[in-house]
Amino acid sequence: MPSNHTTPKPPVDVLAWSGDAVTGQLRLLDQTLLPNEVAHIECRDAQRVHDAIATLAVRGAPAIGVAAAYGMVLAAQYLPNTQDFHTGVEAAAEYLEGARPTAVNLAWAARRVLARAQRTLSDDYNYIRAALLDEAKKIHAEDEALCLAIGRHALPLVQRGGGVLTHCNAGALATTGIGTATAGMYLAHQAGHAFTVYCDETRPLLQGARLTAWELAQAGIDAVLITDNMAAQVLREGRVQMVVVGADRIAANGDAANKIGTYGLAIAAAKHNVPFYVAAPYSTFDLSLAGGEGIPIEQRAAEEITEAFGRRTAPANIRTYNPAFDVTPADLITAIITDRGVISPVNEENVRKVIGT
């Protein structure tokens, strides 16, 4: 986190780089073990980073971007000190991007490190490796700052004494700062405001229960866990004054992909006249896509929904459908809270005005 003492500190570091560009390594918090165990994975090559992203040991759009940026540095440690170095860096970007398809931050970060390699002209390959590490560290530091900027825009929206509903984990554990959806909550809590956060459990991998409920409780924020199918009732009972979620990719018209279940939540919020906010940094926007129909949706393994609590919970050989994300159409989103300002109403003109071209 930046040294500014007014910035709330996330409960735990999601990742940390140690050492130089030639021999250094990446340490990742293994989020699959939370909330029961705080343990880490040491990554000494790009494959370890790729696998940690694919298995959700590190997850959340901004965090996998930062992890991939350092993964590029690790890949470069094994490349030859010849012209083949540059072909290898390109291949590494493609390889890391392939770990998960929906969150555009992953490709954005890998491509940014690749671009730095391409414009660093030198015969000294360790000098180029150092440039890659410098770029990864910049992406890392920027991510922390983006969360804080989102939080400053979100803070006035968190009602004192009110209820906030969130889905999945778009918190400190999904970023390297104070989260996106949670950024306003952390700042409101620091300012001494009282409010309650309803955390959707988030089937099938329970990021809401395992991660959001855990990190908010660690921070001393009043958190209440509900299952996904309780959200509509909680909204109907008037317990919630705002819904705020993160995003994995936002198209030019404002359609936003996020964890499966977000779309249903947006429909329920609209029915009950509760504002529905998406919080995301500029790096989550993919302005090359006109609308959400172009966003690739990750399909995940059947076992994620046929097994739970360490045992089989569905009949053998049952056919499954397990999309990890859905797309919420822009007309259901009250506003998108970004580091660059608040986009409202959500349409292409306003997205381009705030995010740029």
Q: Does 139 bind ligand MRU (CB under 6 A)?
A: no
Shortest distance in whole angstroms from residue 105 CB to ligand MRU: 8
Whether 248 sits among the annotated catalytic residues: the reply is: yes
Shortest distance in whole angstroms from residue 1 CB to ligand MRU: 16
Q: Does 170 bind ligand MRU (CB under 6 A)?
A: yes
Shortest distance in whole angstroms from residue 24 CB to ligand MRU: 25
Contacts of 274 (CB under 8 A, 6+ apart): 165, 235, 240, 241, 242, 243
Cα angle at 270 between 264 and 273, to 5 degrees?
Answer: 145
Q: Does 231 bind ligand MRU (CB under 6 A)?
A: no
Stretch in the footprint of ligand MRU (CB under 6 A) among 16-24, 52-60, 191-199, 288-296: 52-60
* Site track for ligand MRU across 3-42, x = CB under 6 A: ----------------------------------------
Residue nearest to ligand MRU (CB): 246
Phi and psi at residue 245, to the nearest 5° = -130, 170
From the list 247, 256, 268, 332, which residue makes contact with ligand MRU (rule: CB under 6 A)? 247
From the list 174, 187, 244, 355, which residue makes contact with ligand MRU (rule: CB under 6 A)? 174
Q: Could you tell me which of 278, 209, 268 has the C-alpha nearest to residue 240?
A: 268
Shortest distance in whole angstroms from residue 209 CB to ligand MRU: 12
Q: Does 248 bind ligand MRU (CB under 6 A)?
A: yes
Q: Does 175 bind ligand MRU (CB under 6 A)?
A: yes
Catalytic residue among 228, 248, 255, 286: 248
Q: Measured from the CB atom, is 182 or 253 closer to ligand MRU?
A: 182
Shortest distance in whole angstroms from residue 92 CB to ligand MRU: 21
CB atoms within 10 A of CB 4: 8
Stretch in the footprint of ligand MRU (CB under 6 A) among 12-20, 39-47, 187-195, 244-252: 244-252
Q: Does 168 bind ligand MRU (CB under 6 A)?
A: yes
Shortest distance in whole angstroms from residue 144 CB to ligand MRU: 13
Q: Does 60 bind ligand MRU (CB under 6 A)?
A: yes
Q: Does 59 bind ligand MRU (CB under 6 A)?
A: yes
Secondary structure of the chain as H, E, C letters: CCCCCCCCCCCCCCEEEECCCCCCEEEEECHHHCCCCCCEEEECCHHHHHHHHHCCCCCCHHHHHHHHHHHHHHHHHCCCCCCHHHHHHHHHHHHHHCCCCCCHHHHHHHHHHHHHHHHCCCCCHHHHHHHHHHHHHHHHHHHHHHHHHHHHHHHHHCCCCCEEEECCCCCHHHCCCCCCCCHHHHHHHHCCCCCEEEEECCCCCCHHHHHHHHHHHHHCCEEEEECHHHHHHHHHCCCCCEEEECCCEEECCCCEEEECCHHHHHHHHHHCCCCEEEECCHHHEECCCCCHHHCCCCECCCHHHHEECCEECCCCCCCCCCECEEEECHHHCCEEEECCEEECCCCHHHHHHHHCC
Q: Measured from the CB atom, is 75 or 247 closer to ligand MRU?
A: 247
Shortest distance in whole angstroms from residue 237 CB to ligand MRU: 24
From the list 180, 212, 338, 350, which residue makes contact with ligand MRU (rule: CB under 6 A)? 180
For ligand MRU, the binding residues in 281-340 under the rule CB under 6 A are 324
The residues that touch ligand MRU, with contacts defined as CB under 6 A, are 56, 59-62, 103, 168, 170, 174-175, 180, 207, 245-248, 258-259, 324
